[in-house]
């Protein structure tokens, strides 16, 4: 574990501002609470009517609960959303990163579910959050009703060398000169369609966060076969990290009950417009409510 996840105090303050900005963008009533775990106090955001079924939602690497909520707010019409901030990957989270060689992510999520007395629950995870959700579901299939994954990490991995070669020069140029033109050259590898908030947030994140030194390991065939609950995997065709078609091939070959969707022409960050938000909410509701 590291001592902190930010390069300096100014970086943390800038990310706090981004958190608040995405919380405003979410445009729905939320509650913020601190949940005690053996790793420290964990920040959890909740949204939606508490009388509705619970959906646990896990955000992507170096984002936050507010970032995810801003893109899935339509789900609050159907579910009570519980959005924990993943340790080491959010300005609101425990400021230490767990080793992927340990079971700490699984233990941490179990303690969050125990706190909310969720014996069995639906879980939705995006990117790194998809890895954490999948790892938990593989270990505790009896506690996972259904599992929904959007561009999940840890199932397939594109060539790291190819990815680094694609982004290295644009990223170096942006770090030297943080111009709009250089920002676009970097984030265009990641986002499907330009979005001012997301693009500038990603640009700041590259400079604010201490870069994670490791990536989630690939799930074994046994771990995927342990997913005995219904699973939905939504992948992106042009994802340079977790390419959509190979990911679909692997989950279909190993997960007993799986539905898939391939987002054509999409990169790792899918569309962030209203049309896609409504489509995603509808697709998740269709899967979870069957």
**Would residue 278 count as lying in a domain?**
yes
**Would residue 191 count as lying in a domain?**
no
Assign 3-class secondary structure to the chain. Answer: CCCCCECCHHHHHHHHHHHHHHHHHHCCCEEEEEEEECCEEEEEEEECCCCCCEEEEECCCCECHHHHHHHHHHHHHCCEEEEECCCCCECCCCCCCCCCCCCHHHHHHHHHHHHCCCCCEEEEEECHHHHHHHHHHHHCHHHEEEEEEECCCCCCCCCHHHHHHHHHHHHHHHHHCCCHHHHHHHHCCCECCCCHHHHHHHHHHHHHECCCCCCCCCCCHHHHHCCCCCEEEEEECCCCCCCHHHHHHHHHHHCCCEEEEEECCCCCECCCCHHHHHHHHHHHHHHHCC
| Structural domain range at position 99 | 9-160+204-288
Query: What pLDDT tens digit does each residue of the chain (290 aa) get?
Result: 446 899 999 999 999 999 999 999 999 999 999 999 999 999 999 999 999 999 999 999 999 999 999 999 999 999 999 999 999 999 999 999 999 999 999 999 999 999 999 999 999 999 999 999 999 999 999 999 999 999 999 999 987 656 666 777 888 888 888 899 999 999 999 999 999 999 999 999 999 999 999 999 999 999 999 999 999 999 999 999 999 999 999 999 999 999 999 999 999 999 999 999 999 999 999 999 97
Check which CATH number belongs to the domain holding 61 and give it. Answer: 3.40.50.1820
Structural domains of the chain, count: 1
User: What pLDDT score does 165 carry?
Assistant: 66
């Amino acid at each position: 574990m590291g001592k902190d996840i930010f390069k300096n105090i100014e970086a943390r303050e800038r990310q706090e501002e981004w958190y608040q900005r995405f919380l405003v963008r979410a445009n729905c009533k939320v509650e913020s609470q601190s949940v005690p775990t053996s790793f420290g106090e964990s920040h959890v955001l909740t949204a939606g009517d508490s009388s509705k079924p619970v959906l646990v939602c896990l955000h992507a690497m170096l984002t936050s609960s507010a970032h995810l909520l801003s893109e899935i707010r339509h789900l609050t019409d159907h579910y009570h959303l519980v959005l924990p901030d993943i340790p080491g990957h959010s300005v609101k989270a425990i400021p230490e990163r767990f080793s992927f060689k340990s079971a700490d992510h699984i233990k941490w999520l179990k303690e969050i579910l125990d706190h909310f007395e969720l014996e069995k629950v639906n879980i939705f995870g995006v990117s790194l959050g998809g890895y954490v959700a999948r790892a938990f579901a593989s270990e505790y299939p009896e506690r996972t009703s259904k599992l929904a994954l959007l561009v999940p990490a840890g199932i397939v991995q594109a060539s790291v060398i190819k990815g680094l070669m694609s982004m290295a020069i644009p990223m170096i140029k942006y770090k030297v000169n943080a111009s709009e033109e250089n920002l676009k050259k970097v984030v265009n590898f990641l986002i499907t369609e330009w979005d001012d908030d997301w693009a500038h947030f990603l640009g700041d994140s590259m400079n604010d966060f201490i870069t994670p030194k490791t990536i989630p390991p690939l799930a074994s065939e046994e771990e995927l076969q342990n997913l005995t609950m219904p699973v939905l995997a939504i992948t992106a065709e042009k994802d340079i990290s977790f390419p959509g078609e190979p990911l679909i091939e692997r989950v279909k070959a190993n997960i007993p009950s799986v539905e898939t969707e391939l987002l054509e022409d999409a990169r790792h960050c899918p569309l962030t417009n209203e049309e896609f938000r409504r489509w995603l909410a509808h697709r998740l509701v269709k899967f979870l409510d069957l």
